[in-house]
């Protein structure tokens, strides 16, 4: 190993202990002369910037949030390369760069076995940048899978921005410390010796992911709301100047707390037009960067394969601006593919006339690229598609305010198999591909499709499709496609306005207003009552009632219905009393009458909003009918939920099982709870992957806890801290047989607290109430996390509120009311409730008022619990009766031989056996649960539900077990079962023969009713019939 020279030792002795020495930083001031502000606004902005001298400095910062670590693949050996030769002028630049980095503490002399060469690359201003060639190191580095933002998503977020600022971090990578164990791997060799980085250098494969993760953490909660982050580029956008100042101040605070600094000379403030990620953002829309377009115009004709790849990569970055990009580039792509297959791919390429034409056509198309508009999700989308012999093309547009706006272009070449399709199939393929490509825009919106193939107008409505057309039609049915209209190829590209497009006669659209985003913010419409008042007056059916009540203050009575009344100019209706005289009156006493024009909006709010949770029709009807009224409210709720795309896509269908239903009834809150773990889900930004679900059996109250892992100690901590410390110790905890719940640690903790644990049967978790909650919860989570599946944990609190405030069909109450004696106010209540000064107040410190409040609360809870218990028992009995009518009543005893079904996770293929056995029942836990012992190897299969077993029959046995066969038309009076059959040769009917020694279970002695008696024709020999 080489020794350090004297110069290196002197430098090493002078180095600070920290990679970022604490020096007095020079403050840099940004230039505001190019901002689109008046003098007063510039003064306010300058004052704000002067308050953050620690952010605008001449030196890079030092963040404490993260460190960069280099993980190598197993077996990697250090690589070293001799330094590249440099001219004297470039050596001087290297010397200057080394001195600056040594003084700043970014590098230090090294004795590492690694050595990478340095290169000098030109900057935009003509100067040279000091870089290290880390290609060999990167080839052996384990890549990080951290997601990088999509350019399209960041550009779409700027649609409503009026003020935009871009912030550039000063040498952003150098503000991240390099882990000490990874520093030797970054060693680089120069003519002055070997050095290694103490901060994260440029050129490492995982450096962008590390920095993107750092910025996501620093600006958590602000990203996509007021700022965008693409590695070290920050874009701040706001609708007003005042809001923009607040957003900038918040971001400056975050950067200062993280120890990050900005380069003032590269920051642009309050610009209405600026360049970002190769695009020009303007108030009118988005278009390509003119500077990069010039580089395309000046690009010489490719002569080598690499030149062609560079040109296609440059134009491909703007393919969304170029109509039929794939069709235009087809000759160039054919040349590229043929050259890559050739063994002499590095030689000159063969340039044809078709390539020359495509090359020039791309230049012209990009020069004349249209202005693309950011999408407006409150307006319908128009999707125009086309298919040629070898390409597919699509244009996504919108029309409003008598203008047409192009959102994006898309195109691709057809595969070899697709080029053999018939013309109609190609046009259908174009629609199918385009809807899939533009899915982030089209999902949940109204779509009009325009195609130059007249035959495709039947694609949505015909029932006689098959093959690929049927698959595509099913896929298209998931979108809200109002119409597929024929547009002749000769017509102008401008489409007719949407008002002239007729709806398809086969489609019925309940919600004629543009669909609202699933994450709708109800506060966007705080003037809802004013809108209702105005729409009531404009409604043809409600206007006469309003006029009558306006002239007469008395309520308007009806012979058979509750009267109407007018409050503050808004029409209400008295609420009918509940059918059950003991049932409390929930919701509002006066129901707000909703005019027809606003009914669909109320349906959206009470079904699609996260606090509504896409509940079923009874829960949604309860939310509406306890607050508002219109005549067809039940029918509209049923129709709306039946046609809800997300509910159809994510929710399960109920099915009947075979076992008799076993009921578990509790009589007080938090006496019995069920616990279960859902997942694994996609890992979120907070590293959550699982979900712990806890349900109270009496109130149906739900608690949701996202988890990183499912270890027993973590589960036990949550149950103790969040359940027991909040609700008290339950008597029973019911769970499945997961290792977390049957571990020694979990059972010991429950035993020490006096809690009894119960486990469900193996592969039959339906006995746990939590499983039913999971069936409803999983599609709810999926519906609200569909845009970003890695954010599912951010919606749990809203979904839990939805379940807690929804009426339960079994108890007849909401879980919240059974817990607290009151219903929480929801956002919809704040909008539908008229502000009043005479609101009921909470009890003061006067003892008499407190006692009265406590007495009323006690009476309310006792009444609610009693009614809920009655409903619970009645409902359970109804469920059991209905369930058992469709169940097959099998009876097994200890010692019986049975078959046991093999669970799907244990099967290896479709041809595997469905059952294992013979097995013996060694213990009867309940009429539907048994302990099973496999005879072949003596393995104990544990608790097994009756749905998973069937009788075992052997040729050497006359009986193992008997189906009782009792149904609602038969009694249970016992006789001996039929063991063989004699045949009446005259009538060709079987007659019973009872052997003398029989120990089987009984059948019924009462004959079936006549309508169930059917003669049986015996076609086999009598001695071959054996029951």
Task: List, for residues 502-541, the tens digit of each pLDDT value.
Answer: 223 232 222 323 333 333 333 344 457 777 888 888 888 8
Most confident of the ranges 455-459, 549-553, 720-724, 991-995: 720-724
Once rounded to an integer, what is the mean pLDDT over residues 818-846?
Answer: 67
Q: Determine, yes or no, domain membership for 883.
A: no
Report the pLDDT value the prediction gives residue 475, as an integer from 0 to 100: 66
CATH code, 953:
2.30.30.140
pLDDT tens-digit profile of 733-748? 988 888 888 888 888 8
CA 296 to chain centre: 39
pLDDT at 880 over 80: no
Residue 321 and residue 185 share a domain: no
Contact 366, 321 (CB under 8 A): yes
Residue 1023 to residue 1018: CA distance in whole angstroms:
12
- In whole angstroms, give the CA distance from residue 180 to residue 196: 11
Q: How confident is the model at residue 976 (pLDDT cuts 50, 70, 90)?
A: very low
DSSP letters for 666-735: --STTSEEEEEEE-PPPP-TT---EEEEEEETTT--EEEEEES---HHHHHHHIIIIIIHHH---SEEEE
Which pLDDT does position 872 carry in this prediction? Answer: 66
> Residue 1: what pLDDT?
36
Cα 738 to chain centroid distance, Å, stands at 26
Strand ranges for 302-424 from DSSP E = 381-387, 391-400, 403-413
Q: Is 131 in the same domain as 86?
A: yes
Structure tokens at 745: 């640690």
Cβ distance 504 to 461 under 8 Å? yes
Query: What whole-number distance in Å separates Cα of residue 741 and Cα of residue 584?
Result: 39
What average pLDDT does the segment 842-865 reach?
A: 66
Sign of the Cα pseudo-torsion (221, 224, 225, 230, in order): positive
Mind listing the pLDDT tens digit for each residue in 277-298?
656 777 666 666 665 556 556 6
CATH of the domain at 297: 3.30.70.270
| pLDDT confidence bin for 691, thresholds 50/70/90 | very high
- Give the tens place of pLDDT for each residue, 112-139: 999 998 887 766 566 777 888 888 898 8
Find the range with the poorest average confidence among 353-357, 653-657, 896-900: 653-657
Residue 513 has a pLDDT of: 30
Residues 204 and 232 in one domain: yes
Mean pLDDT of 417-443: 82
Is 272 found in the same domain as 301? no
Alpha helices in 51-180 (DSSP H): 88-104, 135-139, 151-156
Of 661 and 54, more confident: 54
Residue 506, in any domain of the structure: no
What pLDDT is stored for residue 176 in this prediction? 93
Report how far residue 773's alpha carbon sits from residue 803's, in angstroms, rounded to the nearest whole number: 9
Percent of the chain with pLDDT over 90: 10
Statement to judge: residues 135 and 189 lie in one domain: yes
Q: Which pLDDT score, from 0 to 100, does residue 259 have? A: 92
Predicted local confidence at residue 875, as pLDDT: 65
Of 957, 990, 1007, the position where a domain reaches its end is 957
Residues forming a β-bridge with 949: 900
Instruction: Give pLDDT, residue 904.
Output: 65
With 60 as the cut, is the pLDDT of residue 236 above it?
yes
Q: Are 249 and 47 in contact (CB under 8 A)?
A: no
State residue 444's pLDDT score: 66
C-beta of residue 716 within 8 angstroms of C-beta of residue 746: yes
Do residues 172 and 216 both lie within one domain?
yes
Q: Measured on CA atoms in the order 255, 257, 258, 261, is the torsion positive or negative?
A: positive
Q: With bands split at pLDDT 50, 70 and 90, how would you rate the model's confidence at 346?
A: low
Is 971 found in the same domain as 940?
A: no
Strand partners, 464: none
CA distance linking residue 183 with residue 205, whole number of Å? 15
pLDDT > 70: percent of the chain: 66
Q: Is 500 in a helix, a strand, or coil?
A: helix
Q: Would residue 852 count as lying in a domain?
A: no
**What would the pLDDT profile of 544-599 be if each residue is shown by its tens digit?**
888 888 776 565 555 545 678 888 888 888 876 655 555 555 555 688 899 988 88
Q: What is the pLDDT of residue 744?
A: 87
Boundaries of domain holding 720: 672-804
1 is a domain residue: no
Q: How confident is the model at residue 802 (pLDDT cuts 50, 70, 90)?
A: confident
Mean pLDDT is highest, among 317-321, 508-512, 598-602, 705-709, for 705-709
In total, how many domains does the chain have? Answer: 7
Tell me which of 173-182, 555-564, 597-606, 857-866 is least confident. Answer: 555-564
CB 868 within 8 A of CB 696: no
Residue 764 three-state SS = strand
Whether the Cβ atoms of residue 947 and residue 927 lie closer than 8 Å to each other: no
Is 866 part of a structural domain of the chain? no
Across 299-318, average pLDDT: 77
pLDDT of residue 338: 78
The reply to whether 534 and 488 lie within a common domain is no
Which of 132-136, 407-411, 492-496 shows the lowest per-residue confidence on average (mean pLDDT)? 492-496
Residue 61 sits in the same domain as residue 98: yes
Distance in angstroms (rounded) separating the CA atoms of residues 295 and 367: 11
* 830, part of any domain: no
Does 306 lie in the same domain as 427? Answer: no
Q: Where are the alpha helices (DSSP H) in 808-903?
A: 815-820, 827-832, 847-885
Residue 860 placed within a domain:
no
Average pLDDT over residues 935-947: 83
Most confident by average pLDDT, 661-675, 807-821, 959-973: 807-821
Of the given ranges (684-693, 852-861, 890-899), which has the lowest mean pLDDT?
A: 852-861
Domain identity same for 360 and 455: no
Q: Which of 816, 793, 600, 587 is nearest to 701 (CA)?
A: 816
The CA distance from 514 to 525, in Å, is 15
810 in any annotated domain: no
Q: Which two tokens stand for residue 527?
A: 């003037």
Query: CATH number, domain at 788?
Result: 3.30.420.10
Mean pLDDT of the chain: 73
- Structure tokens belonging to residue 572: 């209400």
In this predicted model, which residue has the larger pLDDT, 789 or 454?
A: 789
- What are the tens digits of pLDDT across the range 463-483? 555 567 766 776 676 677 877
Name the range with the highest mean pLDDT among 145-154, 646-655, 959-968. 145-154
Judgement on whether residues 58 and 149 belong to the same structural domain of the protein: yes
899-935 tens-digit pLDDT: 888 776 666 554 567 778 788 999 998 888 899 988 8
In this prediction the pTM is 0.37
Give the CATH number of the domain where residue 433 resides.
3.10.20.370
pLDDT at 1007 over 70: no
The pLDDT of residue 973 is 34
Q: Which of 71-80, 227-236, 337-346, 797-806 has the lowest mean pLDDT?
A: 337-346
- What does the pLDDT read at residue 34? 67
Alpha carbons 240 and 116: distance in angstroms, whole number: 50
* 327, burial (CB in 10 Å: exposed 0-12, middle 13-18, buried 19+): buried
Q: Are strands 233-238 and 227-230 parallel, antiparallel or unpaired?
A: antiparallel
Please say which residue of 342, 367, 392 terminates a domain.
367
Position 490 pLDDT exceeds 90: no
What is the Cα–Cα distance from 388 to 85, expressed in whole angstroms?
54
> In the predicted model, is pLDDT for residue 992 greater than 60?
no
Which of 786, 804, 822 is the last residue before a domain boundary?
804
Q: Minimal CA–CA distance to 410: which of 458, 446, 378, 442?
A: 442
From residue 450, how far is each of 152, 346, 386, 412, 912 by CA, in Å? 24, 44, 9, 18, 49
Quick one: tokens of 946?
A: 């009756």
pLDDT(726) > 60: yes
The CA angle 732-738-740, to the nearest 5 degrees, is: 75
- Region 205-223: what's the mean pLDDT? 87
- The H or E element spanning position 597 is helix 596-607
Residue 640 clears pLDDT 60, i.e. is over it: yes
**Listed residue (250, 261, 200) closest to 223, CA to CA:** 250
CA distance 604 to 470: 31
Q: Given this model, what pLDDT does residue 664 score?
A: 60
């Amino acid at each position: 190993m080489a020794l350090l020279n004297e110069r290196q030792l002197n430098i090493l002795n002078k180095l600070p202990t920290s990679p970022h020495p604490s020096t007095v930083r020079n403050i840099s001031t940004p230039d505001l002369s190019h901002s689109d502000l008046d003098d007063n606004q510039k003064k306010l902005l300058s004052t704000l910037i002067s308050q953050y001298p620690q952010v605008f400095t001449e030196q890079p910062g030092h963040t404490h949030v993260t460190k960069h670590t280099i993980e190598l693949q197993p077996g990697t050996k250090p690589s070293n390369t001799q330094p590249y030769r440099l001219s004297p002028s470039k050596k001087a630049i290297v010397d200057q760069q080394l001195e600056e980095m040594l003084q700043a503490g970014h590098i230090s002399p090294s004795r590492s076995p690694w050595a990478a060469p340095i290169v000098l690359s030109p900057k935009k201003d003509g100067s040279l940048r000091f870089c290290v060639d880390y290609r060999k190191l990167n080839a052996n580095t384990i890549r990080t899978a951290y997601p990088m933002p999509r350019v399209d998503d960041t550009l779409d977020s700027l649609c409503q921005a009026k003020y935009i600022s871009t912030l550039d971090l000063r040498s952003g990578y150098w503000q991240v410390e390099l882990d000490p164990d990874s520093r030797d791997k970054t060693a680089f060799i120069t003519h002055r010796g070997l050095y290694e980085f103490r901060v994260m250098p440029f050129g490492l494969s995982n450096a962008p992911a590390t920095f993107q993760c750092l910025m996501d953490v620093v600006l958590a909660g602000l990203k996509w709301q007021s700022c965008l982050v693409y590695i070290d580029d920050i874009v701040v956008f706001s609708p007003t100047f005042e809001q923009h100042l607040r957003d900038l101040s918040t971001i400056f605070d975050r950067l200062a707390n993280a120890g990050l600094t900005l380069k003032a000379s590269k920051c642009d403030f309050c610009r209405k037009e600026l360049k970002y990620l190769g695009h020009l953002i303007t108030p009118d829309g988005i278009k390509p960067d003119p500077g990069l377009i010039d580089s395309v115009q000046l690009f010489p004709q490719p002569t080598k394969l690499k030149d062609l790849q560079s040109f296609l990569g440059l134009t491909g970055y703007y393919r969304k601006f170029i109509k039929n990009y794939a069709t235009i580039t087809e000759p160039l792509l054919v040349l590229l593919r043929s050259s890559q297959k050739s063994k002499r791919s590095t030689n000159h390429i063969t340039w044809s006339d078709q390539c020359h034409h495509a090359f020039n056509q791309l230049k012209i198309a990009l020069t004349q690229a249209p202005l693309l508009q950011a999408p407006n999700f409150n307006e319908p989308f128009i999707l125009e598609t086309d298919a040629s012999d070898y390409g597919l093309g699509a244009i996504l547009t919108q029309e409003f305010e008598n203008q047409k706006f192009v959102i994006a272009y898309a195109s691709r070449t057809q595969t070899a198999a697709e080029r053999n399709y018939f013309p109609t199939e190609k046009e259908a393929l174009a629609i199918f591909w385009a809807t899939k490509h533009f899915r982030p825009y089209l999902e949940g919106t109204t779509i009009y499709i325009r195609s130059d193939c007249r035959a495709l107008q039947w694609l949505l409505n015909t029932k006689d499709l098959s093959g690929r057309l049927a698959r595509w039609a099913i896929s298209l049915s998931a979108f809200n496609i109002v119409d597929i209209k024929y547009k002749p190829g000769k017509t102008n590209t401008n489409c007719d306005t949407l008002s002239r497009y007729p709806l398809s006669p086969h489609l019925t659209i309940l919600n004629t207003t543009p669909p609202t985003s699933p994450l709708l913010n109800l506060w966007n419409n705080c003037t809802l009552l004013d809108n209702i008042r105005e729409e009531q007056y404009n409604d043809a059916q409600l206007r006469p009632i309003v006029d009558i009540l306006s002239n007469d203050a008395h309520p308007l009575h009806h012979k058979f219905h509750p009267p109407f009344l007018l409050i503050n100019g808004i029409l209400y209706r008295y609420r009918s009393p509940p059918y059950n005289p003991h049932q409390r009156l929930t919701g509002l006493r006066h129901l707000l009458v909703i005019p027809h024009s606003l009914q669909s909006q109320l349906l959206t709010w009470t079904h699609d909003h996260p606090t509504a949770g896409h509940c079923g029709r009874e829960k949604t009807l309860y939310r509406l009918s306890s607050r508002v009224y219109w005549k067809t409210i039940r029918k509209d709720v049923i129709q709306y939920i039946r046609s809800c795309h997300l509910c159809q896509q994510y929710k399960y269908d109920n099915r009947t099982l075979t076992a008799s239903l076993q009921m578990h009834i509790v009589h007080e809150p938090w006496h019995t709870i069920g616990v279960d773990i859902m997942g694994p889900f996609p890992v979120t930004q907070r590293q959550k992957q699982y979900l712990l679900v806890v349900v109270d059996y009496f109130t149906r109250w739900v608690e949701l806890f996202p988890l990183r892992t499912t270890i027993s100690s973590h589960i036990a901590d949550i149950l103790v801290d969040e359940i027991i410390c909040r609700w008290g110790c339950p008597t029973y905890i019911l769970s499945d047989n997961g290792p977390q719940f049957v571990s020694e640690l979990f059972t010991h903790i429950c035993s020490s607290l006096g809690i009894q644990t119960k486990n469900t049967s193996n592969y039959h978790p339906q006995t746990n109430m939590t499983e039913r909650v999971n069936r409803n919860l999983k599609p709810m989570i999926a519906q609200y996390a569909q845009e970003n599946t890695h954010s599912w944990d951010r919606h749990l609190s809203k979904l839990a509120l939805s379940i807690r405030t929804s009426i339960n069909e079994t108890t007849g109450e909401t879980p919240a009311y059974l817990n607290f004696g009151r219903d929480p106010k929801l956002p919809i209540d704040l909008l539908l409730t008229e502000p009043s000064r005479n609101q009921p107040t909470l009890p003061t410190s006067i003892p008499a008022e407190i006692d009265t409040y406590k007495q009323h609360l006690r009476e309310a809870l006792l009444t609610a619990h009693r009614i809920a218990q009655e409903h619970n028992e009645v409902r359970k009995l109804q469920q059991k009766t209905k369930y058992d009518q469709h169940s097959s009543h099998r009876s097994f005893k200890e010692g019986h031989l049975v078959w046991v079904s093999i669970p799907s996770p244990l099967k290896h293929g479709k041809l595997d056996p469905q059952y294992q056995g013979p097995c013996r029942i060694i213990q009867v836990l309940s009429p539907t649960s048994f302990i099973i012992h496999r005879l072949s190897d003596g393995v104990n299969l544990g608790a097994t539900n009756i749905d998973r077993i069937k009788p075992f029959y052997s040729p050497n046995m006359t009986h193992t077990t008997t189906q009782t066969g009792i149904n609602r038309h038969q009694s249970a009076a016992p006789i001996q079962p039929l063991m063989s059959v004699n045949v009446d040769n005259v009538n060709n009917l079987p007659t019973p023969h009872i052997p003398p020694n029989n120990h089987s279970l009984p059948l019924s002695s009462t004959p079936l009713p006549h309508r169930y008696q059917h003669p049986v024709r015996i076609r086999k020999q009598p001695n071959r019939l054996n029951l």
